[in-house]
Structure 1
């Protein structure tokens, strides 16, 4: 459920808000719902990796690779599809660390047994 919430809310929020909303959404969702830090990291990472890689692939496909191939030359990447992977990785890492931060912020204020038996 966390994965879908992060995926949908972050994708919609990025249409109207700045790029850094990808850190705010997993932070808040993981602060509210996560049961452990590893789960918070990997669910946030996977959700935003999918969002950013899908959007980067969409842009790559719409321009027939012209834009992403030129940008990939700047970063010495072999082609535009490598840039799609790098975009997904960067978005995923930002979201993953934000999710862990949200989980740990909540765990600072909630006793250990309340974290485990919350639901």
Structure 2
């Protein structure tokens, strides 16, 4: 189930990235977190892993295709190299995805029926 949520996030995020702005990934992560019935920590880490991989691979691919033109200019501003900049990008995306899936899971829990405490009275 966890792997299914990760794959769904990666595929939906990639397809949404083709047609919509970058922040649409957060909305998709929220929806997928709502649809899958996972607990908080599992939802958080699956969202982080999925979007971290998606943004990291995408940033690396763009860096490779453009011969590192932009990262060679931006990396000295942060006194780092190209790969650290890609890692920072992937980490920020992973955190956004993690908190979005966690929010979707908590939103689903709002509608969950509570157990009655009739046996403990």
Q: Is the TM value for this pair above 0.5?
A: yes
Q: Following superposition, which runs of at least 4 residues in structure 1 exceed 3 angstroms of deviation? A: none
Pick the structure with greater CA Rg.
2
**1:5 corresponding residue in structure 2:** 8
**1:116 corresponding residue in structure 2:** none
Unmatched 5+ residue regions in structure 2?
116-121
Partner residue of 2:76 out of 73, 77, 92: 73
Using the alignment, how far apart are the partners of 2:24 and 2:66 within structure 1?
26
**1:16 corresponding residue in structure 2:** 19
1:1-119 mapped onto 2 (5 Å cutoff)? 1-74=4-77, 76-112=78-114
Unmatched 5+ residue regions in structure 1?
114-119
The number of residues matched between the two structures is 112
Deviations 1:75-114 (A, max 9, x none): x14111111101100100001000000000010111256x
TM-aligned CA distance change 1:107 to 1:54, over 3 Å: same
Using the alignment, how far apart are the partners of 1:77 and 1:8 within structure 2?
34
- Normalising by structure 1, report the TM-score: 0.88
- Normalising by structure 2, report the TM-score: 0.87
